[in-house]
Structure 1
Amino acid sequence: MTILLDVINGLNKFLGFLDISPKYSNRAYTLLSIIPTVYILRIVYGLWLNQNYIQLVIYSLVFIGLVYFIVLNFFYYFLDKNLKGDITQLFVKYLPDDAFNIQNEESKKQKKVFEQAEEVPVDFNEDYQLILVENIQALIEGKEITTRDLTKQEGFLIEENTLYPYYYVKQIDAGTYQLQIGKNYRELETIGTIRQSEPLRPIGLFIVGGDFVKDGVRYHEPYRLKFLAKKEEATAVTRTRRSKK
């Protein structure tokens, strides 16, 4: 058993040195997990011959569990499918996102940016969603907005916090701005008005909603836009007030 663990540990370190994508490394780990599973089966067979039924039950449960997860991983990493009996989906469903270490450095930086931002209310025109849908469809067809394959994975067609590529904030007067979007910068249309007395420091215009798949069922949610601007720093406001005093 010690030799087997040493071999597995050595292979694990070897895979760690290779600069390969997580998809293929997980495939390798799935195949690697067959080795201890077969060894557990050998132990189960020996316990059955020796009529040691208590340990036989324990090792049999371990063997069944290992086979179960090998099958799940095989379908997920080799066939890009989730089985209906996949209990890991329960953890994904009920545990918070912070419980899973799946964020890369880019997403962490993005989260930090959004912590410094606030959503700015926009008085949208009545038909702005019709314009938005037409523009998004054209941008998807032009491959300027990336989408996920909803036949292979669940979630929204357009990933959360996707930046709308062509927008412009036009200042009309001291506290009024027009929000314009388009399929490119040559064809911009006004879709709403922003009224704000403080200086506006835009961070981005983000797409929210759209088609999504949950529990194997596809739903449609209207697209909408979320306009974010940088927050006014409280410390700066405090210093300004003190200077006035």
Structure 2
Amino acid sequence: MVNHYLGYVNLNVKLKNRIYTILGVPGVAYLLYVGIRYLQNGFHLRGGLILLASIVLAYFLVMNIFYYFTSKQPPFDISPKIEKLLGVPLGTDPAAEAKAAETQQNPMGIRNVPANGYFDEKKVLPGKVSVSAVQQENINRLVTKMMSLNLVKPNYGGLSSRQIATQLKTDTKPVWAIGLGVSVPYFELQRQSGQLIVLAGINQADKAPVGRITTVGLQPISQVADQVKLYLANAILVGGPHMAMGRNAPIEQDAPYAIRVQLAYERTTS
């Protein structure tokens, strides 16, 4: 029931697991009490089994306290031995790994046709976006609105702290709370005072400037402006909170949200 109702609230994985750990304390304490009372009343087999189960649960409860409330590594953690025995790192999911590998092949995460239509991938290049202070505020407001509509969930894809730690040990890249990126609901490209401005929002009525394109591919906009026509093929929300490997354990860091774009080009007849 707790898990069901917490699903209505956007909580990061670490906070949610802290809540579960706190709720587990009275449950384990009650099992210990029941096991001891059974033993005191002569029900040795039943009491012994309940007591054994409560001791195992108490062990995992202590492990969770280390994982979710401290940055220390528990000195009596048996999970590496279990991993070695099973031959598979704990918390791995073959289906999820296959999906992650597929996503890594396309860092922009574009699997479906974007709202702006389909462009030939051979004529699509990444663009660099420069952001002013006002435009950064517009991006932050867009993130807040997307979160309120459940379009963005900064929950690390449901990964536990242990799964994140395992992933960071095999890959030094940060693990982002929103993943590799989330498609912006609405975006368009406008030319203003000789500059290419990216506008984005929940919808067309909500659009606001979120950055200025400075390069396409490896070339400055000024060098290609009279050679090609540019179209905004896609806009992805990236950045925000992320987990990185600290000295002994993963630590959460924060980064500003940003807009990553892809530009389709069409050469002019001249």
> TM-score scaled to structure 1, two decimals?
0.47
Which structure is richer in relative contact order (CA contacts within 8 A, separation 6 or more)? 2
Asked which structure has the greater CA Rg, the reply is 1
